[in-house]
Amino acid sequence: MKNPRHKDLKGKVVVVTGGGGILCSTIALGLAEQGAKLAVLDLKKEPAEVVAEQINKAGGEAIAVQADVLNQESLQTACDAVTAHFGACDILVNGAGGNHPSGTTSNPHLHEDDLKNAIEGVKTFFDLDIGAIQFVFNLNFIGTLLPTQIFSRGMVGRTGCSVLNISSMNAFIPLTKIPAYSGAKAAVSNFTQWLAVHFSKVGIRVNALAPGFFLTDQNRTLLTKENGELTQRGKTIIDQTPMGCFGEPEDLVGTTLWLCSDQSKFVTGIVVPIDGGFSAFSGV
């Protein structure tokens, strides 16, 4: 491991949900480089094991734990395993989340002809599947609330503890076509502020990252073609991003370290855009 810049993170027990994914695995690696002890949680244990092994091979300390962020019993079992191995959780990163195609419209705008001349496979707002919408909302919002209930209980009354949620640009201004995901991430941002106030007297800080556009396994086919060129949606996003590029997973690490370390000990209840200027640009 490299020489840590945030020495107060050394020895901290950090739990990262969704830790097997591209973005959260990078966050986990960044925290491990500071000497934190990582519990990498994921619905599927195999990707979590890959990340934990990478950390351990680099000289850090990590374990992989299977956990379903929508199941209290599963989360409690995971919490017991983390506590038995490392001790109580100091920092929780709520990284699990995602979208569902059945909660997504086919087109950005509704036109009368869409209803008069319905085309098979083309979904309007009226065709959205309520089950998919509930899944997206639950995964992103309830999947943030439940792990916090389980892992933050042991933080109460201790020093240097915090929760870091993962919101999105969609929470500020909803993107076209993805109402379920946008609404769920808006709920995460609101919950971050609410919980920061609620926990303010017991020594737990609560903040969130709001990533802009990063290429991940979930959105790669939406934003790029097989030959690597941008899709029309990908081009629109780049045109609306002043820095003119997608984010790299490593771009999330610096803000994560700041919000999790004592350098931000008087910071709570904020949602930080990491978006290449997307949220600052009017399009004109």
Domain that holds residue 231: 221-246
Is residue 280, in this structure, part of any structural domain at all? Answer: no
pLDDT confidence of residue 226: 78
Cα distances (Å, whole numbers) of residue 135 to 102, 129, 180, 181: 10, 10, 9, 10
Q: Which of 141, 181, 213, 278 is catalytic?
A: 181
**Residues 6 or more apart from 119 whose CB is under 8 A from it?**
none
Compute φ and ψ for 138, nearest 5 degrees.
Answer: -65, -45
pLDDT confidence of residue 159: 95
Is residue 95, in this structure, part of any structural domain at all? Answer: yes
Q: How many domains does the chain have?
A: 2
Residues 200 and 240 placed together within one structural domain of the fold: no
Residues 159 and 227 placed together within one structural domain of the fold: no
The pLDDT tens digits of the residues spanning 98-128 come to 999 999 999 999 999 999 888 988 999 999 9
Is residue 152, in this structure, part of any structural domain at all? Answer: yes
Which residue type is seen at 260? Answer: C
Is residue 2, in this structure, part of any structural domain at all? Answer: no
Residues 155 and 208 placed together within one structural domain of the fold: yes
The pLDDT tens digits of the residues spanning 161-212 come to 999 999 999 999 999 999 999 999 999 999 999 999 999 999 999 999 999 9
pTM of the model: 0.94
Residues 191 and 231 placed together within one structural domain of the fold: no
Residues 123 and 70 placed together within one structural domain of the fold: yes
What CATH number has the domain bearing residue 123? Answer: 3.40.50.720
Residues 234 and 101 placed together within one structural domain of the fold: no
Residue 157, SS3 per DSSP? coil
Compute φ and ψ for 32, nearest 5 degrees.
Answer: -65, -35
**Residues 6 or more apart from 228 whose CB is under 8 A from it?**
none
Residues 122 and 234 placed together within one structural domain of the fold: no
pLDDT confidence of residue 160: 96
Going across the sheet that includes 13-17, the strands are 61-66, 37-42, 13-17, 91-94, 161-166, 204-211, 271-274
Largest CA distance in the chain: 64
Cα distances (Å, whole numbers) of residue 95 to 26, 55, 143, 193, 226: 11, 18, 9, 17, 27
Enumerate residue ranges in the chain where pLDDT < 70. Answer: 1-4
Residues 30 and 75 placed together within one structural domain of the fold: yes
pLDDT confidence of residue 47: 97
pLDDT confidence of residue 1: 56
Establish whether 181 is a catalytic residue.
yes
Burial of 113 (0-12, 13-18, 19+ CB in 10 A): exposed
CB 168 within 8 A of CB 210: yes
Residues 203 and 235 placed together within one structural domain of the fold: no
Residues 236 and 181 placed together within one structural domain of the fold: no
